Amino acid sequence: MITNNTTTAKPWMSELWTWADDFGISEKDLPRNEAHLLAITELEICSDQITELPESIGYLHNLTHLALNCKALERLPESIGQLSQLERLTITSDEVKQLPESFARLISLSSLNIPTHLSNQLPTTLMDKCRNENETLHIERMAFTSLYSPLEKNYGLSFFGFVLISDDWNEKALIDLKFKAVLDFLLVLQTTEQTIDDFDVVDGVIICKPDEVQKIINMFETTFDYSVVSVDFRDVREAINFAKPAKFIQASALKVSESDKVFSQIIDQIPEDITINAIMFQAESNRRLTLDELRIASDTIDKMDIDDKYVFYNAEVVDKPEHCWMGMIYMIG
């Protein structure tokens, strides 16, 4: 129920209060008093029925934090660009397909938690904030890993970016990719005999087969996902940036009970006359490996005398019948 005297309220306020009443938004969240409404700095809207916001929300000029926890939300009002003080914005709905043009005016934003497909639509003004070391715009839901092609017109944002040497990237194109996609890491996958020059823009090269590309990307996704595990990415950068290309190897078996044999097959693929400076190791099985099963791998890797900060382990449980797979990326000093 509207508790404010709407006869003295501005038309946009009456519209906003009526909308709030229709969707059961409490007076605590959205004040029905004119002075209190104009003064609010934080607004969280939670509803499963809301599909769009009224244009009048753009008059809340003092908002610094707006959280739209509305899973059915389909569009944002053009007036959202009037929220010039907005610093934090959260949108949980995947139904919003397009950002309004006025989004470019939200230049005070420092934190964005929006669906990945919307992050890839950010206007130039906000993308420049991502790229500028003197400004901060934290994007929480951008892709963690992406494989790029030089034929793409627009590069989606990502933390780890991957490219194939066989796609004939040149240095200018790689610099452009790293800048536009705001990549923290750019890794090149060598799937043929074709090599690439030692470009400064590239953080590392990994030798693999064409059908192993997705496995490598998945390893980075699950091993380094900072929303799940704590990782010092300075160590990751040092680990993958050795002078020689890294090498990917893998092995599998139909039974988890044969995990020791699978790991032996992995080790047998490593040449004896090399010095390994860093390792990424992942085990994938249909059940959790026991400590004894994991110890076979950890004890062997320990004997390689690699600095602990350059050893990255991950074990995944997958929904597959009787499955055991192991993969390793080793970096040569």
Tell me the CATH class for 11-141. alpha beta
Q: From CA 101, how far away is CA 115, in angstroms rounded?
A: 17
In the predicted model, is pLDDT for residue 333 greater than 80? no
pLDDT at 2: 40
Tell me the pTM.
0.81
Helices 259-268, 291-302: axis angle to 10 degrees equals 20
pLDDT in tens, 160-171: 999 999 999 999
In the numeric block, which tokens belong to residue 82? 């009037």
pLDDT at 66: 97
Q: Is 24 left (phi over 0), alpha (psi -120 to 50) or beta?
A: left
- Mean residue pLDDT across the chain: 90
Q: From CA 63, how far away is CA 85, in angstroms rounded?
A: 6
Q: What's the angle, vertex CA 43, arms to CA 226 and CA 51, rounded to 5?
A: 85
Q: What are phi and psi of 192, to 5 degrees?
A: -135, -170
User: 85-112: buried (b, 16+ CB within 10 Å) or exposed (e) per residue?
Assistant: ebebbbbbbeebeebeebbebbeebeeb
Q: Enumerate residues 6+ apart whose C-beta is below 8 A from 234.
A: none
For residue 293, give the DSSP letter.
H
Residue extent(s) of CATH 3.80.10.10 domains in the chain: 11-141
- Band (pLDDT 50/70/90 cuts) for residue 102 is very high
Q: From CA 94, how far away is CA 215, in angstroms rounded?
A: 27
Query: Do residues 317 and 287 lie in contact, with contact meaning Cβ atoms separated by under 8 Å?
Result: yes
In the predicted model, is pLDDT for residue 6 greater than 50? no
Q: From CA 142, how far away is CA 114, in angstroms rounded?
A: 8
Residue extent(s) of CATH 3.30.1330.20 domains in the chain: 236-333
Q: What are phi and psi of 30, to 5 degrees?
A: -130, 95
Least confident of 235-244, 259-268, 285-294: 235-244
What share of the chain has pLDDT > 90, as a percent? 65
pLDDT at 226: 67
The CATH classification number of 236-333 equals 3.30.1330.20
User: Which ranges constitute the DSSP H helices of 137-212?
Assistant: 171-180
Query: Do residues 139 and 129 lie in contact, with contact meaning Cβ atoms separated by under 8 Å?
Result: no
> Residue for token digits 């192993």?
212
Q: From CA 107, how far away is CA 319, in angstroms rounded?
A: 44
Residue 184 burial (CB < 10 Å; 0-12/13-18/19+)? Answer: middle
For residue 58, give the DSSP letter.
G
Query: Do residues 73 and 52 lie in contact, with contact meaning Cβ atoms separated by under 8 Å?
Result: yes
Section 184-203 average pLDDT: 92
pLDDT in tens, 150-159: 998 888 889 9
Q: From CA 85, how far away is CA 28, in angstroms rounded?
A: 21
pLDDT in tens, 23-78: 999 999 999 999 999 999 999 999 999 999 999 999 999 999 999 999 999 999 99
